[in-house]
Every structure is written in C-alpha cells, then in structure tokens.
A and B are shown apart, each in its own frame.
Chain A
Amino acid sequence: MDLTPFYDLLVLGGGNAGLCAAITAARTGLSVLVVEAAPIDFRGGNSRHTRNMRTMHSGPLDVLSDAYSEEEYWQDLLKVTGGLTDERLARMAIRQTEAHLPWMKQHGVRFQAPLGGTLQLGRTNAFFLGGGKALVNAYYRAAEALGVEVSYDTEAIEMAIEGGRFRSATVVRQGAQHEIRAKAVVAAAGGFESNMAWLREAWGPPADNFICRGTPYNMGKVLKLLLDKGAKQVSDATQGHCVAIDARSPKFDGGIVTRVDAVSLGIVVNKHAKRFYDEGEDFWPKRYAIWGRLIAGQPDQIGYSIIDAKSMGKFMPPVFPPLKARSIRELAVALEIGPAALEATVEEFNRAVRPGTFDHTIFDNCATEGITPPKTHWARAIDTPPYYGYPLRPGITFTYLGVAIDERARMVMDDGKPAENIFAAGEIMAGNVLGKGYLAGIGMAIGTTFGRIAGEEAARHVRG
C-alpha cells in the first residue's frame, strides 16, 4: 500500500481502542491511517484475546441480567485498585459503557449470553460473540468500509513532537522508513508486556520466568517514545494484570486457555514443596488476578497446584493435561520437586483440615486449623488418588505504566499541560484508571471509552 504522507488523523495501534478512535473520526469525514505493528493474522493487540466488557446498566439488557450501577462499578474498581485510580476518568469510563453497546452493535460487534463457566459475570460483563478477535475483525470491516486505511506490519520508531504538538511520525514497513504527517495522532499502541528486556528492567531477573499471555507485539515502543518526549507518566513498570498460568504455556500469545482454575480446590506449593498463601481466601473469580504476583514472589517464580481425584472435573478444564500419579511421592517426582518435602507438606495440611461441609459455590466451613498459611475455605484433605499437579508461572497479560491523559483523552505533558493534538487510548493510558489490581472486562471499557473520546476530540481539533 502506498503510505500517503498526509492524513487528518494517524492512529498508532490497531486494537480495540485504536479502532474505536479510527471509526469515530472517520465517521466525521476525517482521513485516517491506522498503523498496526502486527501482521494481519495477529492484528488487534491484546484485544484479540479479550472476551467481554464490564458494562454499567440500570436494568436488564439482552445480554446482561439485572442492573449494575455506576456506584457499584466504581466501588468494585476502588476495591481492586486500593484507591490507585483517577476517579474522574474512572467514572467517565464507567458511565459511558452502557452507551457503548448500541455503538458496538452498529459497527458489527455481536454479543452473547455469558460463556459456560462464567455465569458469575452475567450481570456485570457483556460477552462478545466469538470473543475479542471476532470484535476486532468486525471493527476492521467497519473501519475499512468508512475508508480508513490500515498499514500492517508497520512500526512507529520516531515522533516529531514540539511543545506538545505532534507533527509527524516515522514508521518502518518492510525495512523501509516512511514519514507520515497528520493533523492529530491517537496513541493506542498498548503497553510493553511483550518486551522482556523492559520487564527485566522493572522486575529484575525474575522477569525471565514470566510468560506473556498476550500479544507478542506490545513492545512498548510508542509508550517509550512518548515518555521520552515529555509525556507525564502514570503508574509504574511493575504494575500490570498478571495471573498464574500453566508453566507449559507458550512464551507469548497463549491467551485464555493457559489459565489454571484448580487453585482454590487444592493446595499450591513452591519449588521447595512449601505452601505460601491461603488458597481459599476468596472465590477464585475474585482472586485469580493476585496469583501471578504471588508466584512471581516465589523462588524461581514457579508454583504447583495440587489436587486429588475429588476435585478433578470441578473446574474449567485447562488446556494442558495435569501431571497425574497414584501417590504424592510419585506426583512430586513427576513435578520434579522434593518427594519427601511434598509428602510432609500434604500430611501437615491434611492433619490441619477441620471437618466441614464442602461447597465450592459458597464460603463454606472447610478450613484448616493450626497451620501457616491457613486455608480458610474449601479445605479438604488431599487423600484420594489419583493425584494431579499443574505447574504454574506468572502470566503477564498487560501492563499499567502509561501516559497521563485529561478528560478529553489528550495526553498530558510533564508540565501538567495537555498536548494540543496528541490523544491516548487503551492500555497505553489504562494506568490512569487502573493503578494496580484488576477487574475482569475493564480493559475493554477503558479502551472503548477513551478510544471513542480520542476519535471525537481528534475530529474536533482537525475541524478547528
């Protein structure tokens, strides 16, 4: 494709946020170029791995039950972030989600009832039919129908920014550099979770054992460019959405199937076969997001989820079959951890289990007594062979380090003033709302809201 050198709007990043901005701007008649780092088959950044959007709604909708108020949504966010959020921006994102649904449908996105095994999200999250890649495909079709140009396999390597004003970007495509001028730019190129060197800078050597569950194309180049050009930073490089995933997962792009939901049904030990955290602290849907960091804090960043025959089949099936053995000793050998140590840990745990009535759907009264850490719910002796084990690693999904924005999605510079024609949307600014912790489906809420705002504001700027 010929990269025409002058556009009304340049969008860096072709994921959910970038496409929302591109579609919104193109609808007002702007000429738009989307520059996407990935080849066409892997387009869409982390959006291709998503499946729902957390959505406020005042009453039952076709795909959402009951109601989910702004206040409840905000309280949920406040809880997971521990206050590390910008209330003004967060409430903007929350409030607009309900209006996103018809807009998304208008542009080809389809919704469905919550997926099997995710019923608890049926009130709060609107699921995309076919998941995030289907959404991304629909947006690309809509964007192309509006005349938006897309350049795949194209990476931004330099930006000319003077005094908060964007002039042009230099991109590389098939080894050749092109300069692209535009009247405005939307930075929607995601975080840096695929950049192992940057993760190592932030986390130190443990980062070498991280697995990137998301796209391999989020190298953080645009983020770094903007920070170097004087954008104001939000959050920090160690914050992100990081879950415990199967250690056998591919280094990149493993997506949803790599998750292991067995944790709360059994015990989790480290490489020394020692337990290190209360596996029954809260329901798994509320707790899965902390286990990535917990494992990251263990020696060699590895853990092992261990269950017995009683629990098999009671959780969403993971993609890799568990290691299976007739005794704890054999299982330890299969997992390559100390057999005697694992036997001791399981025996100690089993002795500490108090009798109770097991019920995985409520906070039941099955707990341990007299061990540290305790298991406060769903504690059952691990005593029924065969025994199963899943090796776990920290699986980073997306990072929160980003650029600050104002309520018009304008990027804020170090001096606190908003840039004139630089807008940011999606993961690259998610840290404004999500300073730490994670709430399922909020990434798509942030991306859609600020993507659309960025598109509108860019159009307003271009039209003067």
Chain B
Amino acid sequence: MTTEQLIQNYIANRLSEADKAKVDHLLETDSAFKNEFEAHKDMAVAFKISEAESLKKRFQELDKGPKQQKLKISSYLYLAVASMVILGFFYTFYSSPSSDQLYASYFDISPNTYQPVTRTADSTKNNAAFVAYENGNFTIAENEFETLLETTNNPNLLYYYASSLLNQSKFDLALKQFEILNQIDFDYTDESLWYTALIYVKNEDYDNAKAQLKRLNAKNSTFKTKERKALFEDL
C-alpha cells in the first residue's frame, strides 16, 4: 500500500486495527507523513463542506417544490368550501352569525402531516385512510380511520378520525374525540386543543373556547400563535 492509499483508506475507515495503529504512530512521528495526511484531510473536509452546502440548497428547493404549492392551493380551496358549508348552516339553523363567522374565518382543514400517502413498506397499512383524507373524501376517511382504530390506540390516527368528522361538520362527534385526545400528550395535542376551541366558538361556548386557548398559551405552543391571539381578542 502506498502512503497515499494508506491515508485514503484511513480516512475512509477501511483499515484493519493494525494498519490504523500504524497511521496513528506515523502521525506522531513522521512530519512529512503528517503534512501529506493533513493535505488529504483538508481536501476531504472541503468537499464535505461544499457538498453539504449544495445539498442544503437542494433540500430547500424541494421544500418549496410543487407539492407544497399544491397543498397551499388545496388549503385555500378547503377553506372556501368550509366557509360555504358554515354559511349554509347559518341560514338553515338560524344560529348566531358572529359565532359562525368567527368559526369560518379561523377554521382550516388540518393537513395530513402524519403520513405521506405515496410511501412504501410499513406505511401502506394506513394509506387508504390518509389518501381519502388528502383527497377531501372525509366520509370514506372517517370509515377507514374507524376500522384502523378497532385494532390500535394510536392517538395520531384518532386525531385524524376526529378531523375527518369535523371536516364533515359533525361538530358534536368531533368534539367528543378531541376531548378524549385532550386528556393525553401526543404529537397533535396543540392542534387538538385548537380545533376544540373552534368547536366551542361554533357552539357559542366562549368560556370553554378561551379555556382551550389558555391551555395552549400555558404550553408555550408555537402552533398558530397569531391566530390564537387574534381569536382570543375576538371572543
């Protein structure tokens, strides 16, 4: 093995223990070897830095990619649909315009951030439920989540079950599920408290709505900070 190969193999971590010891010894005793080693290492590190920078840029581009844009557009669409549904309720049930309008102006569909629907392997089990959810087929999503919840206690799935109910304006049923979730600490605790608050707003139970918002404040939650503040002031 030439000196150059020895150095490369050392850096690539593919030397035997004996050869590693040999390099360590040379580094302490042979200044010419040490210089060559340092020069090689500088090149390796320089490439690592440069590669890391370009990967970081690539990831940032990916995050801005069309997928996210699509999600943004569909969120607006959901918001528009939800607003229309809520307005429909207003005319049908003569409920207070202020609570309905308030609800409609703050409500948006909770996006699926739990499980990407195009993934492979172990994630396929829950796929049908999340595919339906992402496509806005909340009745199908409700049934699929219900089936899944027969065999698991996963609170994240229960959260999306509750969201499927809420997105169909099944407020009381959704509230029941959110209240169960609010007893525990899980990945979507903040979201669950937020939607509970909105349902209370819808039901004109402003004290309970405020209580949920206060719970979020007490947790120093960073979820929907601006909206929470604005809603609290509106109540």
A and B are partners in one complex rather than unrelated chains: no
